[in-house]
């Protein structure tokens, strides 16, 4: 396992300025993704010199690494313009489109002038699609053959173009007249088939699985993962091949979606950039919006508390358990929410299953609430009996009130936490992006009302 250490980066930086030959030798031992990782750590000028020291083929591979996305624009400024044109021309089409997405307007025009007309057309085609769609992550390099070819012809074509195409492991068979996609064969099926057979006669007889350029990239990823594909074809309304989404893209998509899910779950906008690379102001912007929205909706707790001011004045001891009771509701709500969000995104449950979930969450919440209620009850009685704290003459009733309130609050938390993702999804929101923090607010406010209502019922005539 090779990992780029700060020492390797420092050594490269040193060699850039001293010994070009030794630099080449040091680079020769690294794989393209490792070189890309090192380039991210170098100042753009030094990174450009490293790129210049690489053999062209390797330079293209390094430049094609998706993790370099955010750095390519800066590095390009320091590379000889003629070499830049060649590099861009040789990149894979999806990474090239990403580069043009990142680059500034004025540089875009200059860069477009360095590439050939077919590449420009290709770029224009790819840049139409947002990166959240299959069209936005597809590559236009793939192998396709007419449906009247033999296995031998197809294999011969692959041996010839194989070095250039992003994936040769699936061959797309198109009708010679309509140019529509009619069949997909894997290289594995080709290589084990008799050479003189027609490509249409090998592989599965089912119509090929396809997506459109507007398909959500997550759905494309799910299909590739479910059907164990190495790539899925992207077709237009006439079933013409536009490109393919490969399994590499799926992995990148999964990792990115996971990051977004975790960040949204933490109650903020997705950063869309590595933590250390985002600016201070950018960070504030991504976090302040949600934090303010939550703060303003949490103000409802203050409004709720105002209604119970009298109770608190009469029995300050009640206030002591507010944080405990509130947080328990929040915790049970957060468990339920995370379970349901995940089950929804894995499609283990669908929208119409909401009542099946409710039927599970309410009893689960009641049992969990009873466990916590019992612990809370014992805690108060024990502290009172052991003389650790004096809750006053009605300590036992207070313990009953806290215990009962916990049952209600935890059960409500589980119920609300599990239902909110369904509601958000029903009205067209992404459940992952809002559920967790909103559940907390909802459960906090309701929890206070439950707590004081139960306390009033139990302690009326004694403490209250």
84 vs 443, which CB is nearer to a second copy?
A: 443
Q: Which residues, numbered 382-421, are part of the site for a second copy (CB under 8 A)?
A: 389, 410
Query: Does 316 interact with a second copy (rule: CB under 8 A)?
Result: yes
Does position 192 interact with a second copy (CB under 8 A)? The reply is yes
* Residues forming a β-bridge with 216: 133
Q: Which stretch binds a second copy (CB under 8 A): 104-112, 115-123, 277-285, 420-428?
A: 277-285
Residue 261 lies near a second copy (rule: CB under 8 A): yes
Among positions 26-85, residues that touch a second copy (CB under 8 A) are 29, 31, 33
74: closest CA among 97, 52, 42?
Answer: 42
Calpha distance 286→383 (Å, rounded): 45
Q: Is 356 in the site for a second copy (CB under 8 A)?
A: yes
Q: What angle do CA 281, 282, 284 make, to 5 degrees?
A: 65
Binding mask 107-146 for a second copy (x = CB under 8 A): ----------------------------------------
Q: Which of 69, 259, 362, 396 binds a second copy (CB under 8 A)?
A: 259
CA dihedral of 213, 217, 218, 224, whole degrees rounded to 10: 80
Name the minimum Å distance from CB 17 to a second copy: 26
Residues between 146 and 185 that touch a second copy (CB under 8 A): 155, 158-160, 162-163, 168-169
Rounded Cα distance between 384 and 400, Å, is 13
The single residue among 93, 119, 133, 441 that binds a second copy, judged by CB under 8 A, is: 441
**How many Cβ atoms sit within 10 Å of the Cβ of residue 85?**
17
Instruction: State in angstroms the smallest separation of the CB of 176 from a second copy.
Output: 24
Binding residue (CB under 8 A) for a second copy from 47, 137, 372, 409? 372
Q: Which is nearer to a second copy, 109 or 262 (CB)?
A: 262
**Sheet order of strands, 181-186 included:** 143-146, 170-174, 181-186
| Cβ nearer to a second copy, comparing 36 with 46 | 36
Q: How far is CA 117 from the centre of its chain?
A: 35
Show contacts of 179-185: CB within 8 Å, 24+ apart: 179/240, 180/238, 180/239, 180/240, 181/144, 181/208, 181/210, 181/233, 181/235, 181/239, 181/240, 181/241, 182/147, 182/208, 183/147, 183/208, 184/208, 184/209, 184/233, 185/154
- Tell me which of 52, 153, 267, 423 binds a second copy, using CB under 8 A: 267
Q: Least Å distance between CB 327 and a second copy?
A: 5
| Region class of 130: left (phi > 0), else alpha (psi between -120 and 50), else beta | beta
Least Å distance, CB 188 to a second copy, is: 5
- Of 12-20, 46-54, 177-185, 301-309, the segment contacting a second copy by CB under 8 A is 301-309
Contact between 237 and a second copy by CB under 8 A: the answer reads no
Is residue 359 within the footprint of a second copy (CB under 8 A)?
no
Q: Which of 56, 295, 355, 429 binds a second copy (CB under 8 A)?
A: 295
Residue closer to a second copy by CB (options 9, 103) is 9
Least distance from C-beta 107 to a second copy, angstroms? Answer: 26
Side-chain-side CA neighbours of 42 within 13 Å: the count stands at: 30
Q: Are 462 and 364 in contact (CB under 8 A)?
A: no
Beta carbon of residue 343, minimum distance to a second copy (angstroms, whole number): 4
User: How many CA atoms lie less than 13 Å away from 439 in the CB half-sphere?
Assistant: 38
Q: How far apart are CA 344 and CA 340, in angstroms?
A: 6
Q: Is 437 in the site for a second copy (CB under 8 A)?
A: yes
- Contact segment (CB under 8 A) with a second copy among 47-55, 122-130, 176-184, 372-380 equals 372-380
């Amino acid at each position: 396992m090779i990992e780029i250490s700060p020492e390797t980066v420092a050594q490269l930086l040193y060699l850039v300025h001293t010994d070009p030959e030794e630099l080449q030798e040091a680079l020769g031992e690294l794989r393209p993704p490792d070189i890309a990782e090192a380039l991210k750590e170098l100042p753009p000028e030094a990174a450009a010199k490293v790129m210049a020291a690489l053999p062209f083929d390797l330079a293209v591979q390094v430049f094609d690494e998706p993790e370099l996305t955010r750095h390519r624009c800066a590095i390009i400024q320091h590379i000889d313009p003629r070499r830049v044109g060649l590099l861009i021309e040789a990149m894979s089409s999806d990474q090239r489109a990403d580069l043009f997405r990142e680059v500034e307007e004025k540089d875009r025009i200059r860069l477009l002038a360095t590439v050939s007309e077919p590449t420009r057309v290709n770029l224009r085609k790819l840049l139409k699609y947002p990166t959240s769609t299959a069209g936005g992550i597809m590559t236009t390099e793939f192998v396709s053959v007419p449906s009247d070819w033999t296995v031998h012809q197809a294999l011969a074509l692959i041996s010839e173009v194989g070095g250039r195409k992003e994936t040769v492991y699936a061959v797309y068979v198109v009708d010679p007249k309509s140019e529509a996609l009619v069949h997909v064969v894997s290289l594995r099926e080709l290589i084990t088939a008799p050479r003189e057979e027609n490509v249409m006669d090998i592989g599965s007889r089912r119509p090929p699985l396809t997506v459109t350029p507007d398909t959500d990239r997550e759905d494309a990823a799910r299909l590739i993962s479910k059907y164990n594909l190495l790539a899925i074809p992207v077709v237009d309304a006439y079933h013409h091949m536009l490109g393919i989404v490969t399994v590499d893209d799926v992995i990148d998509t999964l990792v990115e979606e996971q990051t977004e899910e975790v960040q949204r779950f933490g109650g903020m906008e997705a950063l869309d950039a590595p933590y250390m690379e985002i600016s201070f102001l950018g960070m504030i912007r991504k976090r302040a919006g949600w934090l303010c929205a939550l703060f303003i909706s949490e103000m409802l707790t203050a409004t709720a508390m105002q209604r119970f001011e009298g109770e608190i004045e009469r029995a300050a001891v009640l206030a002591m358990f507010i944080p405990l009771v509130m947080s328990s509701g929040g915790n049970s709500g957060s468990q339920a929410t995370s379970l349901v969000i995940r089950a929804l995104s894995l499609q283990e449950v669908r929208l119409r299953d909401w009542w099946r979930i409710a039927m599970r969450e309410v009893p689960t919440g009641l049992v969990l609430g009873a466990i916590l209620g019992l612990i809370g009850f014992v805690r108060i009685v024990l502290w009172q009996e052991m003389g650790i704290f004096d809750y006053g003459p009605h300590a036992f009733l207070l313990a009953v009130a806290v215990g009962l309130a916990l049952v209600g609050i935890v059960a409500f938390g589980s119920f609300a936490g599990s239902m909110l993702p369904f509601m958000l999804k029903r009205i067209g929101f992404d459940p992952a992006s809002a559920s967790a923090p909103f559940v907390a607010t909802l459960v906090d406010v309701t929890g206070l009302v439950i707590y004081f209502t139960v306390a009033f019922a139990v302690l009326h005539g004694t403490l209250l």
